[in-house]
């Protein structure tokens, strides 16, 4: 057994954890924009949870969707470091928020038992992940760039869970995807600023030699009853 792949306390490889820490520091340094809070933050619009939240959670629910437990074969797809912050309307970070994401694999298949195309599902893609925010409100996932499936432009589903609050669900999208303009869920967001706030660039990760991508998606919660 490769000693670098020994499992850590949480079940994911020690080598991966070290890489995660490095990436977190990098992301924080690279993306921090001084004075960003001076501007009024756009509330992230609530969007449908959809029918494919996992009906049975995977054995591994960590923040690395590209590898299941100690599996050595990665998921197929464009590896993407997906990060952001969970914020209040005034820009304060929210700690102890559970951020959950779920999305289709490279073939457009959800891990939900009712997803179409199960026969061609990528068994190495976790399909769902969780991250609990710390004091900075920051979250991080390693996943793949989502692909379209019939009827939908590429998207990643989010659920934010906090003690004493209703679950908040939304979706995030890729800037420049041709199907965005025709997507019924995106079009359902009537306010233009709100609509733009959920569409983010997936850019090459600086310094990556393997063509990895990076995307930032902040979730701004209103904490007032939704209209
Ligand atoms: Fe979906």
User: How are the residues of the chain apportioned to helix, strand and coil, as percentages rounded to the nearest 5?
Assistant: 20, 25, 55
Taking the model in full, what pTM does it have? Answer: 0.83
Q: What is the mean pLDDT of the segment spanning 173-184?
A: 98
Confidence at residue 19, expressed as pLDDT on a 0 to 100 scale? 52
Q: Which residues contact 54 (CB under 8 A, 6 or more apart)?
A: 102, 110, 111, 112, 127, 128
User: In the structure, what pLDDT confidence band is assigned to residue 164 with cuts at 50, 70 and 90?
Assistant: confident
Tokens representing 59? 């054995």
Ligand 1 centre to CA of 69 (Å) is: 24
Ligand 1 centre to CA of 39 (Å) is: 31
Ligand 1 centre to CA of 157 (Å) is: 6
Residues in a beta bridge with 144: 79
Q: What is the mean pLDDT of the segment spanning 20-35?
A: 53
Ligand 1 centre to CA of 51 (Å) is: 8
- pLDDT higher than threshold 70 for residue 25: no
Ligand 1 centre to CA of 179 (Å) is: 14
- pLDDT higher than threshold 80 for residue 15: no
Confidence at residue 73, expressed as pLDDT on a 0 to 100 scale? 95
- pLDDT higher than threshold 70 for residue 31: no
Ligand 1 centre to CA of 199 (Å) is: 15
Q: What is the mean pLDDT of the segment spanning 4-15?
A: 39
High-pLDDT (> 90) share of the chain, %: 75
Ligand 1 centre to CA of 114 (Å) is: 12
Size (the chain), residues: 227
Torsion of CA 161, 165, 166, 168, to 10 degrees: -50
Confidence at residue 13, expressed as pLDDT on a 0 to 100 scale? 42
Q: How far apart are CA 36 and CA 91, in angstroms?
A: 9
Ligand 1 centre to CA of 106 (Å) is: 13
Cβ(191)–Cβ(45) below 8 Å: yes
Ligand 1 centre to CA of 117 (Å) is: 14
Nearest to 26 by CA among 145, 140, 172: 140
Q: Which helix (H) or strand (E) segment is 15 a member of?
A: helix 14-31
Q: What is the mean pLDDT of the chain?
A: 86
Ligand 1 centre to CA of 50 (Å) is: 6
Tokens representing 65? 């969707």
Q: How far apart are CA 195 and CA 143, in angstroms?
A: 23
Q: What is the pLDDT of residues 84-143, one digit of tens each?
A: 999 998 889 999 999 999 999 999 999 999 999 999 999 999 999 999 999 999 999 999
Confidence at residue 28, expressed as pLDDT on a 0 to 100 scale? 56
């Amino acid at each position: 057994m490769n000693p670098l792949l020994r499992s850590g306390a949480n079940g994911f490889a020690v080598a991966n954890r070290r890489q995660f820490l490095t990436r977190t520091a990098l992301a924080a340094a690279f993306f921090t924009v001084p004075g960003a809070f001076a501007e009024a933050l756009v509330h992230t619009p609530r969007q449908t949870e959809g029918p494919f939240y996992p009906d049975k959670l995977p054995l591994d629910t960590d923040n690395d969707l590209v590898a299941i437990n100690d599996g050595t074969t990665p998921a197929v797809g464009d590896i993407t470091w997906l990060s952001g912050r969970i914020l209040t309307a005034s820009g304060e970070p929210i700690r102890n928020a559970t951020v959950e994401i779920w999305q289709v694999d490279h073939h457009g298949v959800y891990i939900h038992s009712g997803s179409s195309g199960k026969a061609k599902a990528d068994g190495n893609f976790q399909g769902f992940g969780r991250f609990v925010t710390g004091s900075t409100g920051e979250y991080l996932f390693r996943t793949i760039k989502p692909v379209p499936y019939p009827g939908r432009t590429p998207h990643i589903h989010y659920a934010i869970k906090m003690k004493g609050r209703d679950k908040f669900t939304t979706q995030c999208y890729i800037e420049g995807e041709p199907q965005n303009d025709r997507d019924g869920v995106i079009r359902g967001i009537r306010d233009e600023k709100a609509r733009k706030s959920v569409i983010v660039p997936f850019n090459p990760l600086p310094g990556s030699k393997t063509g990895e991508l990076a995307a930032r998606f902040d979730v701004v919660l209103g904490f007032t009853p939704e209209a």
